[in-house]
């Protein structure tokens, strides 16, 4: 018995040697990966490391002073900053509202498309429906700004034609934030519809047919047939949307500039201001590090759930 | 129980006609196997009976009820799919119970039915297990049990053992054979495997190119194929076909260099074009016999069960003969063959049996 273990160990030790011809292949695959890795490291990894470093310095681009190491002062500063705390909580409210509404709407529309797979013009409808998702966010923000404009906007034109008073949603204290959520929903609901269609598509056809034959009630159908297959892709969609909503910047910056007051000041907008209006690079790096950890936390939670599920199935 | 009447059923997928004008009745309380090569339309036909596909033309009746436009949910059928369907996140018992929930049964009745099928299918030991933990063979057993426990009037099986590993396959086939003996339902079973069909069927409906070409008991369809296709498709090897140049017809009499006797085939003799004979319908002797036709052995192979399969050349004609172990073992280069007239089936030019 002991001998066989020994030989086994030996064979394990010898294994990499035996695979030597593979190393040539490895060089080839590394060679193919190299350009991407080069740019990834140059454009993504190095700046991130740089940012980590900057977070511990007092460094303002416009001042004549040299960067000064100040330890955790940037972090303690912004954690004490009430305004910033306001932006963070506002961002979370925005994220919750947007993701929940988009998920529900996306699922609803996705199910409608899925149910009517023989509807004439379905492909065209889907293509049109998905366009908001492929338009640049800046363009989306600009044309919604025009549509909603109090004097030039088409909505206000019809409002005045109908005999009501023109109104300006983007500068209104109560309407500005919901309007932002609305435009974000207009832009991103198609994404959740896409994910819903993919999730429903991952349910085996035979299982759906068996459920019809066995006359399962709709709640059972969802619980025992659709959900076990669909949950991963749908969950992934929600995660991507959450991370993305957390970073929302262009929409708020172009449409309202964070206003009126700070009603639509999302964290990414504040960050942009610190970095590229006040050029407080050390401070804004600290905020970025903080945001990055929130994003990593969200991802980890999802991956943890996913892995736990996988383990229970194995 | 219901019989299933198919009236002028046609199904087209764009330009392709999968099922072509089928008029057929599947008798109640028996096992009908739809057998045919892949692409012959057997699964499409079954899916139309289930309501998962709607016919391009024609009507489907369960007894006198027209169900053509009735959705699957309301047809009161059971169906076992090729891919073993289980309902995830529940126990095996719950899986068997799920379709019973809409039947509004008492708890006692429900338990009785579940325990009954669990016993027949040998599932008692796994009843409490989670379905995800089980292999494909057991999953398919659960799927079969689920349909049986519900006791619908019609149960459809769509190649249920195709996707199962070999050992579970045999086991599942055996338990289904037992199950079919007990069930009083109308059973339709689709397969491309003739052994499966022979084992399970009360009658086999043979399909080719979207049409049912013959429907008979396994014995009948094997012994009296009504077409060359049936003769060729059933049996392993399929029937030997002897081409026209080996047949002489004069009046009602048919002779051939392959058999010594003269066959009187009456008025139908004139349309005889080819004849078929099964491999086991050819008598082979290793010594010269009176009236025997000499043949040369080109190949010899032993089959399961010890019988031999001989490839024989009679002049330019190649035929296969199945012979007993003792003859096969001793057969050398030259053998003598004869064919009894009752083992001969004549076909006309179009391939129809006469």
Contacts of A218 in chain B (CB under 8 A): none
Is B78 within 8 Å of A213 when comparing Cβ atoms?
Answer: yes
In this structure, is residue B101 part of a structural domain? Answer: yes
The number of folded domains in chain B is 2
Is A228 within 8 Å of B89 when comparing Cβ atoms?
Answer: yes
Nearest to B77 among A213, A217, A224 (CB): A213
Do residues B68 and B19 both lie within one domain? yes
Closest CA to B48 of B27, B20, B86, B29: B20
Main-chain phi, psi angles of B154, to 5 degrees: -130, 135
For residue B354, the model assigns a pLDDT of 83
Do residues B301 and B161 both lie within one domain? no
Mutating which of A213, A215, A231, A314 best tests the B interface, going by the most B Cβ atoms within 10 A?
A213
- By C-alpha distance, the chain B residue nearest A208 is B85
Do residues B173 and B295 both lie within one domain? no
CA distances from B51 to A112, A122, A214, B13, B281 (A): 22, 24, 13, 16, 44
Residue A4 CA, distance from chain mean position: 53
Closest CA to A194 of A240, A237, A252: A237
Closest chain A C-alpha to B226 CA, distance in angstroms: 36
Flag whether pLDDT at A22 surpasses 70: no
Closest chain A C-alpha to B51 CA, distance in angstroms: 9
In this structure, is residue B195 part of a structural domain? Answer: yes
Is B143 within 8 Å of A210 when comparing Cβ atoms?
Answer: yes
Is B101 within 8 Å of A217 when comparing Cβ atoms?
Answer: yes
Helix (H, G, I), strand (E, B) or coil at A109: helix
Contacts of B143 in chain A (CB under 8 A): 210
Is residue A115 less than 8 Å (CB to CB) from chain B? no
Contacts of A208 in chain B (CB under 8 A): none
Please state, for a pLDDT cut of 90, what percent of chain B lies above it.
43
Is residue A218 less than 8 Å (CB to CB) from chain B? no
Which residue among B179, B212, B233 closes a domain? B233
Whether the link from the prior residue into B237 is cis, omega within 30° of 0, is: yes
Is residue A70 less than 8 Å (CB to CB) from chain B? no
Is residue B13 less than 8 Å (CB to CB) from chain A? no
Q: Identify which has the larger pLDDT, A258 or A240.
A: A240
Residue B176 burial by Cβ neighbours in a 10 Å radius (0-12, 13-18, 19+): buried
Do residues B102 and B219 both lie within one domain? yes
The answer to whether B278 and B343 are in contact (CB under 8 A) is yes
Place of tokens 């002991």: A2
pLDDT (tens digit, 9 = 90+) per residue, B279-326?
A: 988 989 888 888 888 899 999 898 888 899 999 998 888 999 999 998
Helices A176-201 and A82-115: crossing angle in degrees, nearest 10, is: 40
Mutating which of A215, A220, A312, A313 best tests the B interface, going by the most B Cβ atoms within 10 A?
A215
Do residues B187 and B248 both lie within one domain? no
pLDDT range class, residue A3, cuts 50, 70, 90: very low
Flag whether pLDDT at A314 surpasses 60: no
CA dist., res. A249 & res. A254, Å (int): 8
Residue B208: give its domain's CATH number. 3.40.50.300
CA dist., res. B160 & res. B121, Å (int): 14
Instruction: Note the residue count of chain B.
Output: 354
Q: Where are the beta strands (DSSP E) in chain A?
A: 57-58, 68-69
Is B72 within 8 Å of A228 when comparing Cβ atoms?
Answer: no
Do residues B100 and B135 both lie within one domain? yes
pLDDT (tens digit, 9 = 90+) per residue, B5-35?
A: 999 999 999 889 999 999 999 998 899 999 9
CA dist., res. A203 & res. A223, Å (int): 12
Do residues B225 and B109 both lie within one domain? yes
Max mean pLDDT range (A206-215, B256-265, B329-338): A206-215
pLDDT (tens digit, 9 = 90+) per residue, B169-190?
A: 888 888 888 888 888 889 999 9
Do residues B191 and B208 both lie within one domain? yes
Residue A97 CA, distance from chain mean position: 14
Is B98 within 8 Å of A206 when comparing Cβ atoms?
Answer: no
Q: Which residues of chain B from 155 to 184 reach within 8 Å of chain A, CB to CB?
A: none
In this structure, is residue B45 part of a structural domain? Answer: yes
Is A215 within 8 Å of B50 when comparing Cβ atoms?
Answer: no
Residue B233 burial by Cβ neighbours in a 10 Å radius (0-12, 13-18, 19+): buried
Mean pLDDT for all residues in chain A: 85
Which residue among B233, B251, B266 closes a domain? B233
Closest chain B C-alpha to A206 CA, distance in angstroms: 7
φ/ψ bin of B113: left (φ > 0), alpha (ψ from -120 to 50), beta (otherwise): alpha
Whether the link from the prior residue into A260 is cis, omega within 30° of 0, is: yes
> Is the reported ipTM for this assembly greater than 0.90?
no
Is residue B85 less than 8 Å (CB to CB) from chain A? yes
What's the helix, strand, coil split of chain B in %, to 5? 35, 35, 30
For residue B58, the model assigns a pLDDT of 92
In this structure, is residue B42 part of a structural domain? Answer: yes
Using CA atoms of B233, B234, B235, B237 in order, give the dihedral in degrees to the nearest 10.
0
CA dist., res. B144 & res. A141, Å (int): 57
Mean pLDDT for all residues in chain B: 89
Is A210 within 8 Å of B79 when comparing Cβ atoms?
Answer: yes
pLDDT (tens digit, 9 = 90+) per residue, A164-190?
A: 888 888 888 888 999 999 999 999 999
Nearest to B85 among A207, A220, A228 (CB): A207
Contacts of B77 in chain A (CB under 8 A): 213
Closest chain B C-alpha to A218 CA, distance in angstroms: 12
Q: Identify which has the larger pLDDT, A9 or A162.
A: A162
pLDDT (tens digit, 9 = 90+) per residue, A70-92?
A: 888 888 888 888 888 888 899 99
For residue A20, the model assigns a pLDDT of 52
The answer to whether A230 and A208 are in contact (CB under 8 A) is no
Contacts of A228 in chain B (CB under 8 A): 88-89
Main-chain phi, psi angles of A268, to 5 degrees: -65, -30
Do residues B209 and B256 both lie within one domain? no
Closest chain A C-alpha to B77 CA, distance in angstroms: 7
Flag whether pLDDT at A56 surpasses 60: yes
Closest CA to A298 of A92, A156, A116: A92
Give the mean pLDDT of A234-239.
89
CA dist., res. B220 & res. A44, Å (int): 76
Flag whether pLDDT at A1 surpasses 50: no
Q: Where are the domains of chain A?
A: 74-313
pLDDT (tens digit, 9 = 90+) per residue, A117-141?
A: 888 888 899 999 999 988 998 999 9
Do residues B191 and B296 both lie within one domain? no
Identify the bridge partners of residue B32 per DSSP, sorted by sequence position: B188, B203
Cβ count within 10 A of residue A44: 10
In this structure, is residue B286 part of a structural domain? Answer: yes
For residue A2, the model assigns a pLDDT of 45
Do residues B202 and B334 both lie within one domain? no
The answer to whether B149 and B114 are in contact (CB under 8 A) is yes
Closest CA to A70 of A55, A85, A86: A55
Contacts of A215 in chain B (CB under 8 A): 73, 99, 102
Which residue among B179, B206, B233 closes a domain? B233
Residue B340: give its domain's CATH number. 2.40.50.140
Main-chain phi, psi angles of B250, to 5 degrees: -135, 115
In this structure, is residue B352 part of a structural domain? Answer: no
For the whole prediction, is pTM greater than 0.95? no
Q: CATH number for the A74-313 domain, one of 1.10.3720.10, 1.20.1270.10, 3.10.105.10, 1.10.10.60? A: 1.10.3720.10
Q: Which residues of chain A from 224 to 263 reach within 8 Å of chain B, CB to CB?
A: 224-225, 228
pLDDT range class, residue A310, cuts 50, 70, 90: low
Closest chain B C-alpha to A108 CA, distance in angstroms: 23
pLDDT range class, residue A307, cuts 50, 70, 90: confident
Give the mean pLDDT of B136-153.
91
What's the helix, strand, coil split of chain A in %, to 5? 75, 0, 20
DSSP codes joined into one string, B161-216: TTTS-HHHHHHHHHHHHHHHHH--SEEEEEES-HHHHHHH-SEEEEEETTEEEEEE
Identify the bridge partners of residue B254 per DSSP, sorted by sequence position: B249, B263
Is residue A313 less than 8 Å (CB to CB) from chain B? yes
Do residues B225 and B292 both lie within one domain? no
Is residue A210 less than 8 Å (CB to CB) from chain B? yes
CA dist., res. A207 & res. B84, Å (int): 9
pLDDT range class, residue A15, cuts 50, 70, 90: low
The answer to whether B249 and B269 are in contact (CB under 8 A) is yes
CA dist., res. B2 & res. B19, Å (int): 22
Contacts of A216 in chain B (CB under 8 A): 87, 98-99, 102
pLDDT (tens digit, 9 = 90+) per residue, B284-297?
A: 988 888 888 889 99
Residue B258 burial by Cβ neighbours in a 10 Å radius (0-12, 13-18, 19+): buried
The residue segments making up the domain with residue B55 are: 4-233
Contacts of A204 in chain B (CB under 8 A): 83, 85
Q: Which residues of chain B from 100 to 129 reach within 8 Å of chain A, CB to CB?
A: 101-102
Is residue A213 less than 8 Å (CB to CB) from chain B? yes
């Amino acid at each position: 018995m002991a001998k066989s273990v020994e030989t086994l160990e030996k064979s394990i030790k010898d294994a990499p040697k035996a695979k030597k011809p593979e190393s040539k292949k490895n060089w080839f695959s590394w060679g193919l990966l190299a350009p991407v890795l080069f740019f990834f490291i140059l454009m993504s990894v190095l700046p991130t490391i740089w940012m980590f470093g900057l977070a511990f310095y007092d460094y303002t681009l416009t001042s004549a002073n040299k960067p000064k190491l100040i330890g955790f002062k940037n972090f303690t500063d912004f954690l004490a900053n009430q305004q910033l705390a306001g932006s963070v909580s506002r961002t979370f409210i925005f994220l919750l509202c947007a993701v929940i509404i988009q998920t529900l709407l996306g699922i609803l529309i996705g199910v409608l498309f899925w149910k009517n797979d023989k509807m004439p013009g379905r492909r065209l409808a889907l293509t049109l429906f998905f366009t908001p998702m492929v338009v640049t966010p800046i363009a989306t923000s600009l044309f919604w700004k025009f549509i909603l404009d109090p004097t030039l906007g088409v909505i206000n034109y019809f409002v005045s034609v109908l005999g009501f008073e023109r109104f300006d949603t983007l500068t209104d204290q109560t309407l500005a934030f919901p309007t932002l959520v609305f435009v974000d929903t207009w832009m991103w609901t198609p994404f959740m519809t896409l994910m819903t269609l993919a999730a429903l598509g991952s349910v085996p056809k035979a299982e759906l047919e068996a459920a019809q034959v066995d006359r399962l009630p709709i709640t059972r159908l969802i619980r025992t047939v659709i959900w076990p297959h669909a949950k991963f892709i749908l969950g992934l969609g929600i995660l991507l949307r959450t991370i993305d909503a957390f970073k929302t910047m262009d929409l708020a910056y172009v449409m309202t500039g964070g206003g009126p007051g700070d009603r639509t000041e999302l964290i990414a907008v504040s960050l942009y201001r610190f970095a590229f209006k006040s050029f407080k690079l050390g401070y804004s790096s600290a905020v970025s590090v903080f945001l990055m950890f929130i994003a990593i936390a969200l991802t980890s939670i999802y991956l943890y759930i996913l892995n736990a599920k996988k383990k229970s199935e194995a | 129980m219901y019989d299933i009447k198919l009236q002028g059923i046609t199904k087209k997928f764009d330009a392709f006609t999968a099922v072509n004008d089928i008029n057929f009745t599947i008798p109640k309380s028996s096992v009908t196997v739809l057998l045919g090569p892949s692409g012959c339309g057997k699964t499409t036909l079954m899916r139309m009976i289930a309501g998962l596909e709607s016919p391009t033309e024609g009507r489907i009746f369960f007894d006198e009820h027209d169900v053509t436009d009735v959705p699957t949910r309301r047809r009161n059928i059971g169906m076992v799919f090729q891919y073993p369907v289980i309902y995830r996140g529940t126990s095996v018992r719950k899986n068997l119970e799920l379709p019973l929930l809409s039947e509004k049964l008492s708890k006692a009745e429900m338990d009785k039915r579940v325990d009954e099928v669990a016993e027949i299918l040998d599932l008692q030991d796994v009843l409490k297990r989670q379905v995800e933990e089980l292999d494909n063979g057991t999953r398919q057993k659960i799927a079969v049990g689920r349909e049986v426990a519900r006791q619908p009037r019609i149960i459809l099986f769509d190649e249920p053992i195709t996707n199962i590993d070999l050992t579970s396959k045999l086991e599942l086939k055996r338990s289904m054979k037992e199950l079919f003996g007990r069930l009083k339902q109308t059973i339709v079973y689709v397969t491309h495997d003739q052994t499966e069909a022979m084992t399970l069927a009360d009658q086999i409906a043979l399909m080719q190119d979207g049409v049912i070409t013959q429907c008979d008991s396994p014995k009948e369809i094997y012994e009296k194929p009504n077409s060359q296709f049936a003769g060729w498709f059933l049996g392993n090897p399929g029937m030997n076909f002897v081409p026209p140049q080996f047949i002489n017809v004069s009046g009602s009499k048919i002779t051939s260099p392959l058999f010594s006797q003269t066959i009187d085939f009456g008025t139908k003799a004139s349309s005889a074009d080819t004849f078929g004979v099964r491999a086991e319908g050819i008598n082979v002797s290793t010594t010269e016999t009176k009236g025997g036709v000499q043949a040369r052995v080109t190949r010899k192979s032993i089959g399961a069960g010890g019988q031999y399969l001989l490839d024989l050349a009679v002049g330019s004609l190649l035929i296969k003969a199945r012979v007993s172990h003792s003859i096969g073992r001793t057969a050398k280069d030259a053998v003598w063959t004869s064919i009894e007239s009752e083992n001969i089936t004549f076909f006309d030019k179009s391939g129809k049996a006469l």
